Chain A
Amino acid sequence: MTNPQWIEACEVDDVEEEDVIRFDHEDRTFAIYRTDKGEFFASDGYCTHEKFHLSNGLVMGSTIECPKHNGRFDIKTGAAKRTPVCVDLRTYPVKIENDKVFIQI
C-alpha cells in the first residue's frame, strides 16, 4: 500500500462558493467542494448509489445532492443523508497553500 500523498487539485478561484468541480487524477476521479462559508472539502467523484458524477450536482450549505437521483451526502463527513443513497461517500483531507487546493489521497 502506498503512503498518502498530497496532490494539487485546482486553484482556489476555480471553485465558486457553494459549488463543486471535478478533478481527475490518474485513473481516479474526485469532487472538490467549496461551501458557502468558503471551506474546501474533497470526496470521491461518483455517487455511491449509481455511477453519476457529483460535480454536476447541487451544493447546499455543506450538502451535495447527486444530479441523477437527488441522493444527498454531507460534504464534510461523506455521510449518506438521503435515499437512494445508503452508502457513505469517501472523503479526503484538503489543505490550501498559495491559493492552491491540495487533496491527500
Chain B
Amino acid sequence: MAAQPKKRDYSIIGPESKRAQDRGLASADWYASPIPRKEMKELMKRRNGPAIRDTIIWFGGLVILGYLAYLSWGTWWAIPAFLAYGILYATPGDSRWHECGHGTAFKTPWMNEVMYQIASFMVLRSATPWRWSHARHHTDTIIVGRDPEIITERPPIWKVLLLQIFHLYGGPIEIKRFVLHAFGRMEAQEKEYIPQSQFKKVFWEARAYMLIILGVVAACFWAGTVMPAMFIFLPSFYGAFVVITFGITQHLGLYEDVLDHRLNSRTIYMNPLFRFLYWNMNYHTEHHMFPMVPYHALPKLHAAMKDDCPAARPSLWAALKEVFHALRQQKHDPAYVVVKPLPATARPYMDGIAHELDFEKWMQKQA
C-alpha cells in the first residue's frame, strides 16, 4: 500500500512557517518580467477618473436594483431582484475592497481610504487586519505557513468551498472576529502579521461594524421585517457566490511554495461586465508581479508582459474547469498542480519544479 503523504499544516503560526523561512521562501525575492522603467512608470500612474466613474455606476446600479427589489418585496420577483442586488453589492464590494486596500484605485489617498472602509464592511472583512493579511499574501503568495489567504489546502476541503458560496465559512469567522476585536482582543495568528501599533484602530473599526450590524438588526425588529437586512449585511452572504467563483480562479490548482507568480497565479480573459465587477483582477499574475499598477492599467500591463507568461485562460469557464479538475486530482494526489508551457519568448520559470521535488522528499521524511 502506498504511503499516505502527511497532511501539511497551513496555519501561519505552525511549523510550516519556520520551514518556509528556513527554505528562503519567506520575504523572498520574486521573479519579475522585464519591463522598461519608462513604460512601468506610465503603467503605475494614478488617476481618479476611472474609479470615480466606476463608483458612480456601481452605487447608481445599487440604488436602481435596490428600488426594484423594494418594489418586488412580497412577490416572486423579489428573488431575481435581490439576487441581482446582492451580486452587485458583494462582487464589486470585494474588488473595490481589494484595489482600494492597495491604494491604487484612486489617485487621491482619502478616496481610497473611504472606499476601503465602506467596501470592507460590505464584504464583512475587518479593514485593518485584512490590510495586513493581504500585505502578507503579497509578500509570501501561496507559501504554506506564511500566506493567510490560501482559500483551501491540499487535498481540498470541499466543505469550505461549498460554504463559501454563501460566505458561510468566512462570514461567521469574521463576525466572531468583530466581537473579539470590539472587546479589545486579537487572535493569535493576527498578532503574527499585524503590528501592535495597529490594534487600537482594529478595535474601533470592529466597534463601528458592530454598531452598524446591531442598527440593522434593530431596524428589522422595529419594522417587523427582515427587509432592512436584505439591503445591508445579508447581501454579504446571499450575494457572495460570484466573489468565490472569481476568487477560486486566482491561485487554486497551481503551485505552492514557488517564487514565480507565473506558476502560482492565473490570468483569465473575461468579458467587460465581469471585468467591471472584478476591476480587472482577472489579470492576476500581472497584479501580483506588479501590485503598484492600478486596475485600469492592467490590460496594458498584460499586453506588455504576455510574451513572458503562459497563455491566459480563454474564459472564466475554462479557468473553472481547470481549477475543479486540479482539485479533484489533488484529492488523491496533493502534489498535483497545473503547469502551463511558456512561450519561446519567455524567461524560464524560477525554481518551480525544484521546490516541488523538495516538497515530495520532505513529505516522505515526515511520513
Which residues on A are within 8 Å of B, measured CB to CB? 19, 49-51, 57-58, 60, 65-70, 72, 82-84, 86
Contact = CB atoms under 8 A, between A and B. Distances in A.
Interface of B: 27, 37, 41, 44-46, 102-104, 109, 128, 131-132, 135, 138-139, 195, 197-198, 290-292
A68 B291 contact: yes
Among A50, A57, A68, A84, the most chain B Cβ lie within 10 Å of the Cβ of: A84
B291 A70 contact: yes
A57 B41 CA distance: 9
10 contacts: A49-B135, A50-B27, A50-B139, A66-B292, A67-B290, A67-B291, A68-B138, A68-B291, A82-B103, A82-B109
B135 A67 contact: no
B103 A70 contact: yes
A84 B59 CA distance: 29
Interface of A is mostly: loop
B292 A86 contact: no
Contacts of B131: 83-84
Contact of A70 (B27, B128, B195, B292): B292
> Which are the 8 A-B pairs with shortest beta-carbon distances?
A84-B135, A58-B44, A69-B135, A70-B103, A70-B102, A67-B292, A50-B27, A58-B292
Contacts of A72: 103
Contacts of B290: 67
Contacts of B138: 68-69
B27 A51 contact: yes
B98 to A, nearest CB: 12
Given A58-B44, A65-B292, 7 more contacts: A58-B45, A58-B46, A67-B292, A70-B102, A70-B104, A82-B103, A83-B198
B40 to A, nearest CB: 8
B125 to A, nearest CB: 15
Nearest to B195: A86
A51 B135 CA distance: 13
A68 B128 CA distance: 18
Contacts of A58: 41, 44-46, 292
A79 to B, nearest CB: 14
A83 B113 CA distance: 11
A69 B138 CA distance: 7
A90 to B, nearest CB: 19
